[in-house]
């Protein structure tokens, strides 16, 4: 079993839709949770970062962590074509400090 | 800020040849990471350095892979001999903190081994 599981998609939605991206993880020692966005032929860039259960909002983006279920989500409201990218969840192990990525979900927002 | 700088951006080489990928981390960052990305396996951590010292190289796939960080501003990832299955995008990343919670990626080195 992979330490971090993420459905690779692809996911295609119309402009303006609410997008839900999800990951599950296996190790309860994981402490820090992040979402990265990667545009085609570019390196990943940090989108959001949290370390506690609950919601964190930043503009149209909301990151949600449920440590009891080992489940993390990213919601995108009013999705735009410019949101088309691959979204990777990433988790840091509190024990090792290693950053472990999910497979990434490819999102396409159609105008 | 120039960001993490990687070279070459693209490399096509023949099987059996030596490949050297280079990385200049962001000035002041004391942790450096090498990742490999493929469609099948996603982003995999190969090795990371803290203050120029390799901390965890458990992700290095084989002895054909080696990485060095001779000083705080330069690192190399070498593959010798290269094989077609090494074809991937290799990312270098750096962070100012050892935990890696704010990690900055370069634009990647796209390697094709034929």
* pLDDT grade for B96, boundaries at 50, 70 and 90: confident
Q: Pick the residue from chain B with its C-alpha nearest to A101.
A: B43
The predicted structure's pLDDT at residue B6:
97
Residue whose C-alpha is closest to residue A61's, from A26, A95, A90, A36: A36
- Which conformational region is residue B28 in: left (phi greater than 0), alpha (psi within -120 to 50 degrees), or beta? left
Q: What is the pLDDT of residues A34-91, one digit of tens each?
A: 999 999 989 999 999 888 788 899 999 999 999 889 999 999 999 999 999 999 999 8
Judge: B56–A45 Cβ closer than 8 Å, yes or no.
no
For residue A29, is pLDDT > 80?
no
Nearest to B29 by CA among B68, B74, B67: B74
Contacts of B56 in chain A (CB under 8 A): 96, 98
Distance from CA of B11 to the nearest CA of A (A): 14
Place of tokens 């690192």: B75
The average pLDDT across A89-97 equals 75
Q: From chain A, which residues contact B within 8 Å (Cβ)?
A: 32, 34, 41-46, 49, 88, 92, 96-104
> pLDDT per residue over B10-40, tens digit each?
999 999 999 999 999 999 898 899 999 998 8
- pLDDT at position A99 is 80
Token pair 């009891």 is found at A68
**Dist. CA A95–CA A27, nearest whole Å:** 11
Residue B99: exposure state from Cβ atoms within 10 A (0-12, 13-18, ≥19): middle
Q: Look at residue A82 and give its three-state secondary structure.
A: helix
Inform me whether the pLDDT recorded for B100 exceeds 80: no
Average pLDDT value over all residues in chain B: 92
Chain A residues in contact with B104 by the CB 8 A cut-off are: 46
> B106 at the A interface (CB within 8 A)?
yes
Rg (CA), chain B: 13
- Backbone phi, then psi, for A14, in 5-degree steps? -80, 155
Cβ neighbours for B92, distance < 8 A, ≥ 6 positions apart: B4, B6, B21, B23, B25, B32, B33, B34, B35, B75, B77, B105, B106, B109
Position B102 confidence tier, pLDDT thresholds 50, 70, 90: confident
Strand partners, A54: A65
Q: How far is A99 from chain B (nearest CA, A)?
A: 7
Quote the CA–CA distance of A8 and A13 in Å, as a whole number.
Answer: 15
């Amino acid at each position: 079993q992979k330490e971090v599981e993420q459905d690779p998609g692809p996911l295609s939605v119309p402009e303006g839709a609410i997008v839900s991206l999800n990951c599950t993880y296996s190790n309860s020692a994981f402490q820090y949770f992040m979402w990265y966005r990667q545009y085609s032929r570019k390196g990943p860039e940090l989108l959001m970062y949290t370390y506690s259960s609950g919601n964190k909002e930043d503009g149209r983006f909301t990151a949600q962590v449920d440590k009891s279920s080992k489940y993390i989500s990213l919601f995108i409201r009013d999705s735009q074509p410019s949101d088309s990218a691959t979204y990777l969840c990433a988790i840091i192990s509190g024990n090792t400090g290693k950053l472990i990525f999910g497979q990434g979900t490819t999102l396409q927002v159609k105008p | 800020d120039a960001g993490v700088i990687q070279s070459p951006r693209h490399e096509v080489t023949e099987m059996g040849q030596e490949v050297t990928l280079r990385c200049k981390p962001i000035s002041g960052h004391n942790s450096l990471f090498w990742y490999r990305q493929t469609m099948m396996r996603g982003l995999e951590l190969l090795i990371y350095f803290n203050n120029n010292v390799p901390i965890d190289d458990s992700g290095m796939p084989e002895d054909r892979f080696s990485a060095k960080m001779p000083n705080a501003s330069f690192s190399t990832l070498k593959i010798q001999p290269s094989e077609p299955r090494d074809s991937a995008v290799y990312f270098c990343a750096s962070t100012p903190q050892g935990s890696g919670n704010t990690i900055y990626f370069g634009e990647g080195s796209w390697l094709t081994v034929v």
